[in-house]
Amino acid sequence: MAKRLARWDNLSLRNQLTLVNVALLALSLLIAGIGTTLLLRPTLVNQLDTSLLAAASDPTLVIGGDPVTGQFGYENIRNAPQPYYVAVVSPDGRLLVDNWSGRLRTLAPEVGELVREARPGLAPSHEITEVRDELGSPWRSVTVVEGQYHADTVHGVLVMSLPMSTVNATMASFLAIFFGFALSVLIFAAALTRLLVSVTLQPLRQVESTAMAFAAGDYEQRLPESTPNTEVGRLSRSLNSMLGRIDSAFDDRDRTILQMRRFVGDASHELRTPLVTVRGYAELYRMGALDNDDKVLQAMDRIEGEAKRMAGLVEDLLQLARLDESREMPKDIIDLEPIAEDAALDTTAQSPDRLVRVLPTRVVLPGDTSYDPNESAFGEGFVDAGGRAPLADEPAAPEREPEASEAATGNGARRRRGTGRIRLVPSLGRRRRAADEVPVAEPVVEATPEVDEWLDDDESDVPAMIYGNSDKVRQGVQNLLGNALRYTPEGTPLEVGVVVDVERRRATIEIIDHGDGIPPEMRKQIFQRFWRADTSRARETGGTGLGLAIVSAIMQAHEGTVDVVGTPGGGATFRLCFPLLTAPPVETQTSTGGASLTDVG
């Protein structure tokens, strides 16, 4: 059985379908033949019996007779037509006369026993009996006793028989015709099935050839579109989707391998320099070249500096590896304004000689044509006339009226008290120092409400609220500010601004410098790992080359983006764009102690 199954499995699908179809058709024909045979033979026998009964009722229909009297005689019996066997037998079973003269007596049926069993009192409805000749061939016979037929000169029992050979011959002819027809049908069906199966499976052969070509390395191979509601069409669509994903996976793998090779090469290059330095000073010390305390102290300072540089590189690599793991980081509702203010204060503490300004928050309302999302939101007019937030050691400037602030900016910007369309909770940056305020609750994700009318100026405070990790966001801003300090001339000012784009539902922190700027062809490359515009890799120009890559990874974790555009008047503006959180109208809030926010990013 196992060998048969193995042989069957070795057959092609086309051969299997052809054999199954022919086998089913042969089985159907066999059942039809058996059923027809079983029904046809009784029908033919019944027809034979009906003829005999009709002859028994009126023997003159077969034997003939006098047309006037309707009687027959012995001569009529002798001349009775074939294939009927007609005989008159005495009551004791002795043959008196029949129509078998000139033929072999062994072929005549033996009717003597029937006559001996017959009685004159039989009913008119005659009984059909099967008898045999000396060779064993069956006959169907009926007896008509004297008195049940009209004949004055004939005395005895009239016997009429018909041979079963006619039925057998008809059955043999039928079976020969049926089997010949069935064989022809099977041969024709096998050929037609083979042809149809081959045509039907032709798309599968194309699937096979496409898969073979794809496996051989031709990743551009795709299957042609087929009828979508067929099995082959659905298979082609699924395979094309699978091949596309495999092709994309191969591209991603190749790209990842290239990035990994470059990453390892760059990391090796970065680590080689400090290691060579440390090794060099160690050899100098071993050879006695450091012969006084000043040289030893200088060597120790250099070794310590290179060790710190390697430690920073390793920490950055570990941080990127953690960010690449795509693990969910803890997030909360945060306001970008205090983050921008704290980052400016920290930068001022690091570089007291730099002027770091916090620009007034710009709220971009729907329909504001002065704002271009592809450029910095803070043009020259805004920086010059919009003022700056006081630094830690400066007195606070008196707050201007909203109209004056708006007129001074000249570019559609709104301060935190500017006109808005959606009534929102007060800015966390404005109330974070109030001891009696209740912290904001967890965000409730719900549909953004549609407000059909503009609200008053005092009720339109649009905070730069996002949902994210405060430490990571601060790190991203600080990395950009540190990058600006490192690559801009000493003494040039830096600005930090927050943009709330209500229509596009984005909250953006912009870090603006006034250095040499970044060429457009390099703006996408600077966020790659270990890529630096300064190919000399001098220590004076900085770090590990991973700072901007870390910023990009942080923004991906927040479903945001980071890019760089030109600063009006010269320089570079880095933008951290986050999905904006807004709040439903005050009328829908159930509590005054907390705000329910909606993520609209």
In a domain, 532, yes or no: yes
Same domain, 518 and 578: yes
Q: Phi/psi at 88 (nearest 5 deg)?
A: -115, 125
Map residue 173 onto helix, strand or coil.
Answer: helix
- CA dist 143 and 120 (Å) reads 11
Count up the domains in the chain and report the number.
3
Same domain, 336 and 472: yes
- CA dist 362 and 10 (Å) reads 75
The tally of CA atoms less than 13 A away on the side-chain side of residue 471 is: 3
Beta strand 362-364 with 356-358 is unpaired
Same domain, 258 and 358: no
Q: Label residues 505-523 b or e (16+ Cβ within 10 Å = b).
A: bbbbbbbbbbbebbeeeeb
Same domain, 579 and 483: yes
Same domain, 116 and 252: no
- CA dist 31 and 38 (Å) reads 11
- Residues 128, 132, 133, 137: is their CA dihedral positive or negative? positive
Give CA angle at 463 (549, 345), nearest 5°.
55
Beta strand 598-599 with 572-579 is unpaired
Which of residues 285 and 403 earns the better pLDDT score? 285
90-129 pLDDT, tens per residue? 888 888 888 888 888 888 888 877 776 655 544 445 788 8
Residues of the domain holding 290: 222-327
Same domain, 349 and 467: yes
Same domain, 503 and 358: yes
- Domain end point (choices 271, 297, 327): 327
547-591 pLDDT, tens per residue? 788 888 888 888 899 999 988 888 899 999 999 987 554 444 444
Map residue 424 onto helix, strand or coil.
Answer: coil
| pLDDT score for 262 | 65
Q: Find the length of the chain.
A: 601
In a domain, 433, yes or no: no
Which of residues 509 and 410 earns the better pLDDT score? 509
Same domain, 359 and 472: yes
| pLDDT score for 60 | 85
71-81 pLDDT, tens per residue? 888 888 888 88
Residue 415 has pLDDT above 70, yes or no: no
- CA dist 116 and 41 (Å) reads 30
Same domain, 250 and 119: no
Report if pTM > 0.85. no
In a domain, 468, yes or no: yes
Same domain, 467 and 577: yes
- Domain end point (choices 112, 143, 163): 163
Same domain, 358 and 469: yes
